[in-house]
Amino acid sequence: MELSTEQIDDILVIALKAEILDASNSKKFRAQMTSLLEESQKVVFDMNQIKFIDSSGCGTLLSCLRQLNGNGGDLKLSGVQKPVRTLFELVRMHRIIEIYDQKDDAVCSFQ
């Protein structure tokens, strides 16, 4: 998946440049993340472009969260679209990962 990263102080903002995060691309995405997340503790995924996510996508996000938690870090999400949010609510993801409408809000929450 194409990604763009932005470092704001000690916070790493990763924008997901794809429309879907499902079984077809979540494994690759997870592999891309492993090294990126090793260096950081405070990470924001900007999900603005993601229109669809499935259980594999959710699992991948949880896996990323677990990796960061393991290093004493945290993962926050921003720009979550409506259909994605609907699924998050169904599986209660929104209670485990903090979700913000705007990227800046997510960044601020770390500061």
Partner 1 sequence: MSALQDTGTNKPANILVVDDDLIIRSLLKRVLSKAGFNVFLAENGKVAIDEHLSEEIGAVLLDLQMPVMGGMECLRYINKHYPDLAPIMLTANEEVTNAVEAMKYGAFDYVIKPFKSKQLVALAQRAFQTYTQTKRLRKVEAELIDARENEIFIASKIQRSLLLGRPPEDIKGLKINALTIPSQKVDGDFIDFFKLDDHTVDVVVADVMGKGLLSAFFGAAMKSHFLRALHELTIDAVECGMIDDQCMLQEDSFHLPQPQDIITRVQARMIRNLEELESFVTLCYARFDMVQQTICFVDCGHVRTIHYKAASGEVDLLQGINMPLGFPEIDPFIQFSVPFKEGDLFFFYSDGLTENRNPANEMYDEDRLVNFIKLHGYLEPEIIIESAYAEMVAFADSKTFDDDFTCVAVKIDQKQAYTQLNAQAILEIKSDLKELARVRFFIRKFCENVPDSLLEPKRIDMLEVAVTEVATNIIRHAYAGRTDEVIQIKAQMAEDKIILLFYDWGPQGFDPQSVPPLQNISKMAIKDLPEGGMGCYIIAQSVDEVEYSRNQKGKNCTSLKIILAPETND
Nearest residue (CB) to partner 1, 88 versus 103: 88
CB nearer to partner 1: pick between 48 and 63: 63
How many Cβ atoms sit within 10 Å of the Cβ of residue 27?
11
Distance of CA 65 to the CA centre of its chain: 8
Q: Are 97 and 61 in contact (CB under 8 A)?
A: yes
Beta carbon nearer to partner 1, 8 or 41:
41
**Residue numbers at the binding site for partner 1 (CB under 8 A):** 20, 22-24, 52-56, 58-60, 62-63, 65-66, 69, 82-83, 86-87, 90-93, 95-96
| Pairing assessment for the beta strands 3-8 and 11-16 based on DSSP bridges | antiparallel
- Cβ-based nearer residue to partner 1, 52 or 110: 52
3-state helix, strand, coil in the chain (%, to 5): 45, 25, 30
Min dist CB 101 to partner 1, Å, is 19
Please provide residue 34's backbone torsions phi and psi, each rounded to the nearest 5 degrees.
-50, -50
CB of 43 to partner 1, least distance (A): 15
CB of 16 to partner 1, least distance (A): 16
